[in-house]
């Protein structure tokens, strides 16, 4: 197995792959902001106007000229005449002059002349009954500074400034920020098309009944779900028998129609070699990495053909999915020109010793057990089993990483677990 003589560490393998991929040309499409959750913004978005567009009160109280309150205290209140109650949702009709104030609600627009708001609890109506009505005299027990309890025009965002950068993934907060500015449509990156090919004479369509020696295709479906989750569009090319010409023609068609091609090889060495041969034949530079120092996933093949990534994943379903996370996911993110955010990682204390090999990166399915009493403290319990058992992954909460420069962890040590 000559391919395994030079096992690259996963990080170096990714770097080599990415350095052979051209800068992606983003394809845009315009969609409704209200249904843009999870999409990636194509280009910087600028504020069409300031937010807020007017001085807004942050409290219930009285809009005043701050200098009219200077020195006010419980023993020496200031006295102001109420001239108006400012209605919500429209411009105040009356100006506040010296010695005057206006009743204002949280979120209301400051009247011209006013520059601060005194909170209701620091005031009292002294003339004109209990309820403040125009003409009431208002006692002010506390001084306010210019701008106090007020959101300035443009304090949230200034007209013309960049509000969201190209490459940002839309979360609920981004949807809200866009709607706040009346940006009801936006340009997002078109979902990269990821062609998925399953190969292996033993693999059959999951909708069919198995015969002795046959297993149903798992990889096309786990990888399609991973692609969807990452923001790509999976395109299934079905199952190709272990015949080189068939695999090559299907792969060539996928390469033509998609932005990325992923072949899950049959599990034997000969079919893996065939996958490498096919990738080499599809275009330059062809196979870049054949064998990665990671477990599971050693037989992973990384290639670039005519400017597109072509990945050969091991047939074993756990290996294929874990290496989908390690290699296919970052390729999709690169094609989306996404600015990465921190990955969801939980620190957890190991319950047992986990040996590893120096230089190799291990990914071990673990169950996370919440420790009672202490929020967000977890124990990580490895799920043992041969690495080709898909149900070891369904019982796991995440994958514990043993980095290449660590020769394993002892029970009680804390390691990082990536939620998947």
In whole angstroms, what is the distance from residue 124 CA to residue 54 CA? 27
* CB 414, min distance to its own copies, A: 10
CA 261/CA 286 separation, integer angstroms: 13
Q: CB-wise, 78 or 399, nearer to its own copies?
A: 399
Taking the C-alpha atoms of residue 173 and residue 55, their distance in angstroms, rounded to an integer, is 23
319 Cβ contact list (under 8 Å, min separation 6): 296, 297, 299, 300, 313, 387, 388
Of 109 and 279, CB closest to its own copies: 109
Measured from the CB of residue 140, what is the shortest distance to its own copies in angstroms? 19
Give min distance, CB of 184 to its own copies, in A. 6
Given the complex with its own copies, which of 88 and 284 has the nearer CB atom? Answer: 88
User: Which CB sits closer to its own copies, 278 or 322?
Assistant: 322
The answer to whether 195 and 254 are in contact (CB under 8 A) is: yes
Looking at the Cβ atoms of 256 and 371, the one nearer to its own copies is: 371
Q: Provide, rounded to whole angstroms, the least separation between the CB of residue 317 and its own copies.
A: 6
Measured from the CB atom, the residue of 17 and 321 that comes closer to its own copies is 321
- Give least dist CB 307 to its own copies, A: 27
Using alpha carbons, list the distances in angstroms from residue 20 to 200, 302, 334: 29, 11, 13
Question: 378-382 long-range CB contacts below 8 Å, 24 or more apart?
Answer: 378/346, 378/347, 378/348, 378/349, 378/417, 379/348, 379/349, 379/350, 379/351, 380/348, 380/349, 380/350, 380/351, 380/415, 380/417, 381/351, 381/352, 382/350, 382/351, 382/352, 382/354
* CA distance to 17, 30, 179, 337, 405, per residue, from 27 (Å): 22, 10, 24, 10, 39
Residue 53 or 257: the one with the smaller Cβ distance to its own copies is 53
Q: Are 55 and 149 in contact (CB under 8 A)?
A: no
Task: Answer for the pair 122, 67: CB distance below 8 angstroms, yes or no.
Answer: no
Tokens 């693999």, located at residue: 203
Distance CA 206, CA 212 (A): 15
Q: Least distance (Å) from its own copies to the CB of residue 7?
A: 16
Q: Which is nearer to its own copies, 158 or 253 (CB)?
A: 158
Nearest-approach distance from CB 144 to its own copies, in angstroms = 15
Which residue's CB is nearer to its own copies, number 27 or number 229? 229
DSSP structural state of residue 327? I
Q: What minimum distance in Å lies between the beta carbon of 225 and its own copies?
A: 4
250: which strand partners? none
**Contacts made by residues 208-216, CB under 8 angstroms, sequence distance 24+:** none
Shortest distance, CB of residue 176 to its own copies, whole angstroms?
A: 4
């Amino acid at each position: 197995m000559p391919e395994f003589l030079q096992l690259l560490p996963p990080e170096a393998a990714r770097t080599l792959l990415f350095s052979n991929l051209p800068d992606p040309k983003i394809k845009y499409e315009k969609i409704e902001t209200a249904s843009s959750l999870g999409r990636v913004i194509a280009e910087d978005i600028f504020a069409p106007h300031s937010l807020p567009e007017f001085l807004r009160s942050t409290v219930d109280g009285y809009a005043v000229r701050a200098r009219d309150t200077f020195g006010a205290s419980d023993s020496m209140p200031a006295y102001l005449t109420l001239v108006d109650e400012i209605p919500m949702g429209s411009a105040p009709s009356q100006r506040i002059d010296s010695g005057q104030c206006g009743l204002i609600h949280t979120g209301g627009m400051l009247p011209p002349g006013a520059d601060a708001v005194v909170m209701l609890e620091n005031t009292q109506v002294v003339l004109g009954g209990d309820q403040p009505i125009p003409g009431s005299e208002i006692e002010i027990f506390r001084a306010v500074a210019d701008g106090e309890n007020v959101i300035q025009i443009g304090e949230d965002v200034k007209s013309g400034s960049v509000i969201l950068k190209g490459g940002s993934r839309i979360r609920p907060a981004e949807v809200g920020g866009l709607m706040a500015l009346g940006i009801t449509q936006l340009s997002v990156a078109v979902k990269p098309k990821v062609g998925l090919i399953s190969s292996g004479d033993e693999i059959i369509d999951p909708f069919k009944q198995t015969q002795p020696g046959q297993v149903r295709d798992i990889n096309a479906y786990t990888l399609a779900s991973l692609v969807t989750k990452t923001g790509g569009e999976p395109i299934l090319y079905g199952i190709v028998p272990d015949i080189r010409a068939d695999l090559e023609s299907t792969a060539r068609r996928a390469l033509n129609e998609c932005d990325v091609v992923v072949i899950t090889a049959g599990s034997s060495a000969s079919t893996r070699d065939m996958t490498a041969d096919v990738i080499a034949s599809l275009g330059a530079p062809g196979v870049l990495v054949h064998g990665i120092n990671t477990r599971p996933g050693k037989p992973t093949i990384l290639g670039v053909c005519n400017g597109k990534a072509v990945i050969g994943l091991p047939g074993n379903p756990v290996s294929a999915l874990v290496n989908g996370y390690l290699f296919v996911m970052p390729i999709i993110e690169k094609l989306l020109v996404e600015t990465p955010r921190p990955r969801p990682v939980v620190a957890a204390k190991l319950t047992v010793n986990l040996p590893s090999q120096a230089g190799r990166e291990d990914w071990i399915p673990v169950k996370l057990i919440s420790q009672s009493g202490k929020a967000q403290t977890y124990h990580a319990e490895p799920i043992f089993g041969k690495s080709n058992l898909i149900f070891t992954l369904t019982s796991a909460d995440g994958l514990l990483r043993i980095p290449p420069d660590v020769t394993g962890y002892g029970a009680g040590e804390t390691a990082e677990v990536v939620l998947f």
